[in-house]
């Protein structure tokens, strides 16, 4: 089982040491990824999804720091690698794209320059070879008239086009893993749907594994094989998408599902998760969701172990669905 | 582009005529140059003769109209003191000022941009804070005082560098320049440093503010995520994005150094246009002063235009048409 995982995140803790105290943005996060697999990473804003992605690439800047844990790519631990060695992996083996299609590309550089530099970071390429490879990848992500696009500046392109180009840049070096952080959130719904289905095909065709970070459970439902649900820096539940969505074993997941319109029966009012402003400084010991949870029991204030049933993992001692 | 040029030229013609009138009247009010030019023993007849030769016997409006008609055909009059064309006199002093200004700009860019970018991308480090403190001090010290301190340290106590004057020159494409001789280089270092100090501080602040803003941008994070080296990220992605305010300010500063490096040129007895201007003011040598100020306007127009052209290279989103109106 272990050997066939391309990525294993194990007990990852990324903390921010600020003047006001320590923020445990990512706290004991563990998951694994098989080649070609699509993993959804869902959670509300501030739950630590982006920091998890950035930690995998070693892109955490002070005051943040990976305090402990391992990120194993093909069995090799990336945490603590010297900068040049992890830089050789970034973009070539593991690539990442971000949310804002307006600002993901450098506004003052032409597309061909940006693509050439991303290639040149990992191999010696002359201009013609870089151009040929760029055109190939632009076609791959569904860009019409790629020759023209190469000579454009980002402001001359639409948001969807820019995000496609960002995806193309990420795919330039044929990475094994692509981490997409809210990559379609800022786009309108039709473009979002297009890009999602293209990404699915693209990953199937190239064998690239995908970590799709989003706060939108309905996106994950249609896209991912497995899903991790994050809350306050922890993965509270993970498993196959169908298992998690049909039989959530954590009240936070259940609340998320209830608040998605398309997953509800029509006509029923949407449910809401009780709103409580919480701070990552002083998380309650035990389950962090405790003060918003409808089904609190006495044991919830104790540290919660990771429970498992048929590969479906959850951190809840009083899960919504009783054991069959 | 054409509209833009016509606009610019029209504006500067207006500034030129307004300025010449002010200077004409101003110097007329200050005093009579003839009293300074003739020797104390000169007879009344000799004085009247000089006055007639210089055209100063005419009424002020007549003098101004004569100047204007000369100016439209490119003749800005002859210096009262040198007895030759004012423009020729000024241009003779121009290379000295130009190379001083270029040396100062070079120092400002070579020191200011790296220090400022460093302070911006490593703003938490001690060195960054030291740079910012130094630049605050540098921006607030008066130029003449710094000039004197430089002379005291490097010329008087240490004796490393000469304190005043311009070194040996060499003719480069017909222009006498001193920066290509050892002696000339030794002479230019102190005045150039003096002139650069304020500009270095300014560039540090602009570069730091720009760098701080840009490193937080998503495209920098994205470039890092593709595995590009820190050198590529700073030199390739960041620098071009922070250059617009720096180029703007450096352009204006370059103009003001060319036109008004008076204090530094006085302190270091640098034989440039600044010194010439001060001397001509004392001697009430009106044609020189007027021609000098007109040249200044031309310099600023040319620099502004150059800066606008550089903008379009730095940022593809900027086009001429957008600025013409
Ligand atoms: N530079 C920083 N300094 C201090 N705290 C930080 C910093 N960056 C992130 N954090 C903390 O880490 C937590 C997790 O942030 P992260 O960006 O991973 O959230 P997210 O799940 O991606 O949310 P979103 O959906 O809004 O993108 C945040 O709540 C924030 O408190
Ligand atoms: Mg995020």
- Provide the β-strand partners of residue B78: B85
Answer yes or no: do B227 and A99 touch at CB < 8 A. no
| Option in B224, B225, B237 nearest A106 (CB) | B237
Which one is predicted more confidently, B323 or B258? B258
Alpha carbons B284 and B241: distance in angstroms, whole number: 48
Q: Are A9 and A69 in contact (CB under 8 A)?
A: yes
Which one is predicted more confidently, B25 or B199? B199
With a 6 A CB cut-off, is A175 part of the ligand 1 pocket? no
Alpha carbons A86 and A80: distance in angstroms, whole number: 9
pLDDT at A324 over 60: no
The pLDDT-based confidence of B115 (bands split at 50, 70, 90) is very high
- Provide the β-strand partners of residue B227: none
Query: pLDDT at position B323, please?
Result: 42
Of how many residues is chain A composed? 324
pLDDT at A55 over 90: yes
Question: Which structural domain, as residue segments, surrounds residue B231?
Answer: 86-283
A186: left (phi over 0), alpha (psi -120 to 50) or beta: alpha
Q: Which residue of B has its CA nearest to A122?
A: B227
pTM of the model: 0.82
Tens digit of each residue's pLDDT (9 = 90 or more) over A124-164: 989 999 999 999 999 988 888 999 999 999 999 988 899 89
Residues of A in contact with B245 (CB under 8 A): none
Same-domain status, B21 and B116: no
Within 13 Å and on the Cβ side, how many CA atoms surround B49?
Answer: 6
CA-nearest of A142, A189, A187 to A167 is A142
Give percent above pLDDT 90 in chain A: 51
The pLDDT-based confidence of A193 (bands split at 50, 70, 90) is confident
Of A226-230, A286-290, B212-216, B238-242, the range with the lowest mean pLDDT is: A286-290
DSSP state of A283: P
| Option in B223, B227, B240 nearest A108 (CB) | B240
Q: Are B50 and B38 in contact (CB under 8 A)?
A: yes
With a 6 A CB cut-off, is A214 part of the ligand 1 pocket? no
Q: Which residue of B has its CA nearest to A168?
A: B226
With a 6 A CB cut-off, is A53 part of the ligand 1 pocket? no
Q: Are strands A307-309 and A94-97 parallel, antiparallel or unpaired?
A: unpaired
Give percent above pLDDT 90 in chain B: 26
Q: Are A263 and A241 in contact (CB under 8 A)?
A: no
The pLDDT-based confidence of A89 (bands split at 50, 70, 90) is very high
Q: Which atom of ligand 1 is nearest to the CA of A54?
A: 18
A208: left (phi over 0), alpha (psi -120 to 50) or beta: beta
For residue B317, the SS3 value is coil
Answer yes or no: do A105 and B222 touch at CB < 8 A. yes
CB within 8 A of A192, min separation 6: which ones?
A184, A185, A219
Give me the CATH number covering residue B188: 1.10.3720.10
Q: Are A230 and A256 in contact (CB under 8 A)?
A: no
Query: pLDDT at position A1, please?
Result: 43
Query: pLDDT at position A269, please?
Result: 62
Number of domains in chain B: 2
Question: What is the residue whose two structure tokens read 């003719």?
Answer: B171
Both tokens of residue A47?
């739950």
Q: Are strands A38-42 and A209-214 parallel, antiparallel or unpaired?
A: parallel
With a 6 A CB cut-off, is A228 part of the ligand 1 pocket? no
CA-nearest of A315, A117, A101 to A188 is A101
Same-domain status, B143 and B260: yes
Residue minimizing CA distance to atom 18 of ligand 1: A48
Q: Are strands A7-18 and A38-42 parallel, antiparallel or unpaired?
A: unpaired
ipTM score of complex: 0.89
pLDDT at B142 over 50: yes
Q: What separation in Å is there between the alpha carbon of A118 and the centre of ligand 2? A: 23
Question: What is the residue whose two structure tokens read 């650069």?
Answer: B196
Positive or negative torsion for Cα A54, A59, A65, A68: positive
Same-domain status, B307 and B232: no
Most confident of A244-248, B161-165, B222-226, B304-308: B222-226
| Option in B218, B232, B241 nearest A117 (CB) | B232
Both tokens of residue B130?
């030291």
Which one is predicted more confidently, A273 or B4? B4
Same-domain status, B205 and B99: yes
Tell me the pLDDT of chain B averaged across its residues. Answer: 85
| Candidate of A18, A19, A47 to mutate for ligand 1, largest count of ligand atoms within 8 Å of Cβ | A47
Same-domain status, B11 and B41: yes
What's the order of all strands across the beta sheet hosting A312-314?
A94-97, A177-181, A209-214, A38-42, A226-231, A234-240, A312-314, A307-309
User: A71 — phi, psi (to 5°)?
Assistant: -120, 105
Same-domain status, B169 and B305: no
Q: Are A31 and A235 in contact (CB under 8 A)?
A: yes
pLDDT at A284 over 50: yes
Same-domain status, B123 and B70: no
Both tokens of residue B295?
């040249």
Same-domain status, B117 and B176: yes
* Interval B247-262 mean pLDDT: 86
Q: Are A213 and A199 in contact (CB under 8 A)?
A: no
Same-domain status, B62 and B100: no
Same-domain status, B101 and B172: yes
Q: Is the bond preceding B71 in cis, omega lying within 30 degrees of 0?
A: no
Could you give the residue ranges of the DSSP H alpha helices within B216-238?
218-225, 230-231
Query: pLDDT at position B33, please?
Result: 78
B97/chain A closest Cα distance in angstroms? 35
The pLDDT-based confidence of A213 (bands split at 50, 70, 90) is very high
| Strand intervals (E) in chain A | 7-18, 21-33, 38-42, 64-73, 76-77, 94-97, 177-181, 209-214, 226-231, 234-240, 307-309, 312-314
Same-domain status, B69 and B96: no
Same-domain status, B31 and B145: no
């Amino acid at each position: 089982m272990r050997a066939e995982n391309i990525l294993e995140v194990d007990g990852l803790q990324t903390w921010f040491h600020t003047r006001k105290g320590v923020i445990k943005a990512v706290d004991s996060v563990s998951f694994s990824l098989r080649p070609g697999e699509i993993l959804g990473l869902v959670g509300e804003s501030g739950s630590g999804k982006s920091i998890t992605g950035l930690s995998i690439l070693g892109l955490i800047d002070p005051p943040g720091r990976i305090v402990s844990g391992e990120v194993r790519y093909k069995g090799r631990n990336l945490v603590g690698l010297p900068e040049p060695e992890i830089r050789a992996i970034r973009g070539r083996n593991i690539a990442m794209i971000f949310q804002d299609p307006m600002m993901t590309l450098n506004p003052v550089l032409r597309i061909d320059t940006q693509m050439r530099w991303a290639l040149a970071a990992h191999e010696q390429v002359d201009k013609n070879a870089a151009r040929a490879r760029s055109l190939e990848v632009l076609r791959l992500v569904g860009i019409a008239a790629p020759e023209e696009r190469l000579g454009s500046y980002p402001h001359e392109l639409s948001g969807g086009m820019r995000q496609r180009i960002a995806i193309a840049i990420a795919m330039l070096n044929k990475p094994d893993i692509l981490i997409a952080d809210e990559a379609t959130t800022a786009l309108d719904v039709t473009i979002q749907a297009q890009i999602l289905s293209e990404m699915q095909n693209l990953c199937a065709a190239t064998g690239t594994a995908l970590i799709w970070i989003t706060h939108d459970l309905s996106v994950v439902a249609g896209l991912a094989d497995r899903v991790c649900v994050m809350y306050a820096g922890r993965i509270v539940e993970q498993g196959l998408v169908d298992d998690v969505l049909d039989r959530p074993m954590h009240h936070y997941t259940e609340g998320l599902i209830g608040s998605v319109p398309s997953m509800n029966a029509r006509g029923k009012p949407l449910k809401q998760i009780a709103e409580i402003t919480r701070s990552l400084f002083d998380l309650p010991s035990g389950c962090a969701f405790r003060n918003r949870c409808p089904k609190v029991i006495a044991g919830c204030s104790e540290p919660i172990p990771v429970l498992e049933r048929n590969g479906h993992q959850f951190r809840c001692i009083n899960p919504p669905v009783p054991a069959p | 582009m054409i509209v833009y040029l016509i606009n610019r030229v029209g504006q500067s013609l207006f500034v030129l005529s307004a300025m010449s009138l002010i200077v004409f009247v101003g110097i007329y009010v200050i005093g009579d140059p003839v009293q300074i030019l003739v020797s104390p023993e000169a007879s009344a007849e000799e004085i009247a003769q000089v006055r007639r030769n210089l055209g100063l016997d005419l009424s002020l409006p007549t003098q101004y109209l004569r100047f204007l008609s000369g100016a439209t055909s490119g003749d800005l009059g002859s210096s009262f003191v040198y007895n030759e064309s004012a423009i020729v006199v000024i241009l003779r002093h121009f290379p000295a000022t130009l190379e001083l200004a270029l040396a100062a700009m070079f120092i400002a860019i070579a020191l200011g941009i790296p220090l400022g970018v460093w302070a911006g991308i490593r703003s938490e480090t001690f060195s960054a804070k030291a740079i910012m403190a130094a630049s605050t001090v540098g921006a607030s010290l008066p130029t003449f005082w710094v000039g004197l301190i430089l002379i005291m340290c490097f010329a008087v106590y240490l004796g490393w560098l000469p304190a005043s004057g311009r070194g040996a020159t060499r003719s480069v494409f017909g222009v006498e320049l001193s920066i290509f001789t050892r002696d000339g280089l030794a002479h230019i270092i102190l005045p150039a440093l003096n002139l650069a100090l304020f500009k270095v501080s300014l560039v540090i602040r602009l570069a730091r503010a720009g760098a701080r803003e840009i490193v937080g941008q998503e495209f920098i994070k994205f470039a890092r995520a593709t595995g590009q080296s820190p050198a590529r990220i700073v030199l390739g992605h960041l620098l071009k994005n922070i250059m617009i305010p720096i180029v703007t300010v450096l352009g204006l500063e370059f103009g003001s150094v060319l036109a008004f490096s008076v204090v530094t040129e006085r302190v270091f007895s640098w034989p440039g246009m600044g010194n010439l201007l001060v001397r001509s003011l004392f001697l009430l040598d009106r044609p020189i002063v007027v021609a000098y100020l007109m040249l200044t306007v031309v310099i600023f127009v040319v620099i502004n235009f150059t800066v606008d052209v550089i903008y379009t290279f730095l940022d593809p989103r900027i086009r001429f048409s957008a600025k013409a109106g």
